[in-house]
Structure 1
């Protein structure tokens, strides 16, 4: 007998079977109960451990239709503690040591991965990606991320896709996307399939927004208003000025009279929602998105799609199994895992490599004086001035006189590096 009709589901994710090398698309049709969706041994949904009080669950919009399995348990890991206010915590996710690690309040929510979360590439065809933003030409910092993701795909004999993440149109530099693609070609990094642009995929994001509708609400707050709220908290608690900007939930219960909607925010479960994952470089990482992030934007006030939603939808639609990127995105991963759960999308493996910084300790970028990649330089100069320094930054000492020889040496060097770190 079919179950009760669930909310409308849309096909924005690629489901993979438990057999190696085989993939299939699981269609979610109108009227089908998502709770009847069976996850095979290759990919089990992560567990929700602990449950919020009934009123809290209703307010947070925790919906069984998301396909989560929950069970009653006071705490997992360390003893229960009342959570600190988000602004009193470090802005990056915590690394837990021993057991489940971290803290969770009794009656809160904890999302932790099952085995399939950390073993995806072993059970299905590896698909990785490099997803630069066209805010300027390639430079050493972005080359490091491109090299790491490219080598990881080669080590796992998988596919390597390129996606231009141009969803933030105000920051895009005309011609930067083609310059980046030309730089990859000059470096000998050939991608598989067609390049995709986020600005051409709005229909997928609209479909995902419909699926997320029970968990989304309009917000009329400006960034200044949120910052002012944070400033008052910093004054009261003597917090550092660079503490994470956490949304205080002003519009969660509805817009104030006379306040116009600006952005769309995703509700996070209350009182806590600790999300943990195994990073192949950093080990176990976790973050309480309820108290350290708050309800976060999925569609911006300017009408553009937020990065968090776009990247999750694109990774699912392209069947990405492994994400290798810079550690500056480490604290975005728990938010993306939560979105993946709500959309019923698979969880890729993650590896966050260190980011290149300048003399002042700032992430290397066009804004901080990064030298643009010279597409007109001779191969020997590209090798000595770009590829070898990028490999050295990642911890690989490569001896090569040509670009093809560099890649022949770099693939086994990357494999050995990851094996030594336990992140292969």
Structure 2
């Protein structure tokens, strides 16, 4: 085993990405300070907190030590002295954990070494194992319990976020399908309901739903004037501001938790909350004149009343959601296998039928124009032929040729 593997085994497991960010902000540490302490860049720290990557080796140990929560200081409890048979019976003095200092007790004579404890009866051991088995919950039961506890309220929250009843139900069911596919990860999460809520909100706020005819326009607003004004005020807000307002005044999360869930900084989440509250308070004078705490309580009551007053569709049973998630996963797996098999078949057919060498194609004949005339003697015209004939028939008159002689 290498040294790095030993170091990673010695480091305790890191918390979830959302918890990493909360621990860092709880210690008032910025991303730059953590990056400088660990020896990485700010983008690397941000990827650790969003879950895209995880630290390894020495950086993992430094990062875990840096964001580790401070252990709570427990009051020191003074144990009563052990009294033997020679010392006589002494009344037991219970230790008070709420006191800062325990009162000193008189010293007792040295105790004799304790005898070996008697073996536990077999019947007690079996009953404890059976009780532990009874307390054990299967993954399907744990999922069904989480679904029954959070799905109805989450549908109402998503309706306030989107203004569409059918999309709200679809988003929640889709989020729970993803949760069932990743249940080993969700089950050990610090906040499984928060994991599902974040997945439902992300799916509901996707801009691709605008291309669907059924989700292109929001549903009809409430008929009551007050609830209708609040409904219109929520939908007029940008999606990020609407989500921040709903998480803070509707769900009751703190700003660091909202910043971690929306992947924004805490000051940015605070700015979005203040802007959203100011936009809503413009339509409700009683909110504008109220204090921040009272304003939050009024908004919480109004949002809860709006969510409870509207009739939203009931989500499907948990068993149907689990079955749909498994069917979708099976369908995507078969589609991936079929796609790979088709790609292999097309590649093999191409390799079998493709030529082994390149043969350039023969160009078809075409008429070529604009070529200059061929050089050399041209064809004689009729006038040239007539002149040639007259020259060949008539002798040329002129001085006779002088022929040299030998003397």
TM-score, normalisation: structure 1: 0.21
Structure with a larger share of its residues in helix: 2
Normalized per residue, the structure richer in strand is 1
Q: Which has more radius of gyration?
A: 2
Question: TM-score, normalized by length of structure 2?
Answer: 0.21
Higher relative contact order (CA 8 A, sep 6+): 1
